[in-house]
Chains A and B, each alone.
Chain A
Amino acid sequence: MRTSEEQVIRTVEGIAEPGRISGRRRFQLTWPALLVFVVIVALWELAARSGLISHLVLPAPSGIALALVNLFTTGILWQHLRATLTATIAGFAFGAGLAFILAVLSSFWGWFRRIVSPYMIILQVTPRVALAPIFITWFGFGLTPKIVMAATICFFPVFINTLTGLLNTDEEALEMFRSMGASNRQIFTQFTMPSAMPVTFAGLKTGITLALIGAVVAEFVATSQGLGLLIDRFTFRLAMDESFAVLLVLALLGLALYGIMEFLDRRVVFWTHEERLSKKEIRSRREREETA
Chain B
Amino acid sequence: MVRRGTPGMEEPRRATDTVGHRAGSGGPTVRARGLTKVFPRGKVVALEDVSFEVRSGQFTSVVGPSGCGKSTLLRLVAGLIPRSSGELEVHGSEVTAPRTDIAMMFQRPILLPWKTALENVVLPRRIRGKLTDRDWQEGRSLLRLLGLEDFRHAYPQHLSGGMQQRVALARLLITGADVLLMDEPFASLDEFTRERLNLELLRIQSEVDATIMFVTHNITEAVFLADQVLVMTPRPGRLAGVVEVPFGRPRAIELLRTPEFNDLTFKVRGLLGESI
Contacts and interface: CB of A to CB of B under 8 A. Distances in A.
B41 interface: no
Contacts of A290: none
A52 interface: no
Given A11-B158, A178-B80, A180-B127, A172 B110 contact: yes
B183 to A, nearest CB: 9
B217 interface: no
B265 interface: no
A54 interface: no
Given A5-B1, A175-B80, A281-B155, 17 more contacts: A2-B1, A4-B160, A8-B158, A8-B163, A11-B158, A172-B108, A175-B106, A177-B127, A179-B80, A181-B127, A181-B128, A190-B123, A191-B112, A277-B158, A281-B153, A284-B153, A285-B153
A167 to B, nearest CB: 18
A-B interface, 3 closest residue pairs, ranked by CB to CB distance from nearest: A284-B153, A271-B113, A4-B160
B251 interface: no
A257 to B, nearest CB: 25
A175 B75 contact: yes
Contacts of A288: 153
Contacts of A7: 160
Interface in A50-73: none
A176 B163 contact: no
Interface in B192-241: 192-193, 196
A231 B175 CA distance: 64
Interface of B: 1, 75, 78-80, 98-100, 102-104, 106, 108, 110, 112-114, 116, 123-124, 126-128, 151, 153-155, 157-163, 175, 190, 192-193, 196
B129 to A, nearest CB: 11
23 contacts: A1-B192, A1-B196, A4-B162, A5-B1, A5-B162, A5-B163, A8-B158, A8-B159, A12-B151, A172-B108, A175-B80, A175-B106, A176-B106, A178-B80, A181-B99, A190-B112, A190-B123, A271-B113, A271-B155, A277-B155, A278-B158, A281-B116, A281-B154
A173 interface: yes
Contact of B98 (A180, A270, A277): A180
A191 B123 CA distance: 11
Interface string A127-171: 000000000000000000000000000000000000000000010
Contacts of A5: 1, 160, 162-163
Nearest to A186: B127
A181 B104 contact: no
Contacts of A8: 151, 154, 158-160, 163
A194 interface: yes
A176 B116 contact: no
B162 A1 contact: yes
Nearest to B152: A288
A8 B124 CA distance: 26
B201 to A, nearest CB: 15
Q: Which of B75, B116, B160 has the most CB of A within 10 A?
A: B160
Nearest to A11: B158
A280 B80 CA distance: 35
A258 B110 CA distance: 33
A190 B120 CA distance: 11
Q: Which of A8, A176, A177, A271 has the most CB of B within 10 A?
A: A176
Q: Which of B78, B114, B175, B196 has the most CB of A within 10 A?
A: B114
Contacts of B158: 8, 11-12, 277-278, 281
A92 B113 CA distance: 29
Nearest to A183: B127
A12 B117 CA distance: 13
Contacts of A280: 155
A172 B106 contact: yes
Contacts of A170: 110
Given A12-B158, A191-B112, A179 B127 contact: no
A2 B155 CA distance: 19
A182 interface: yes
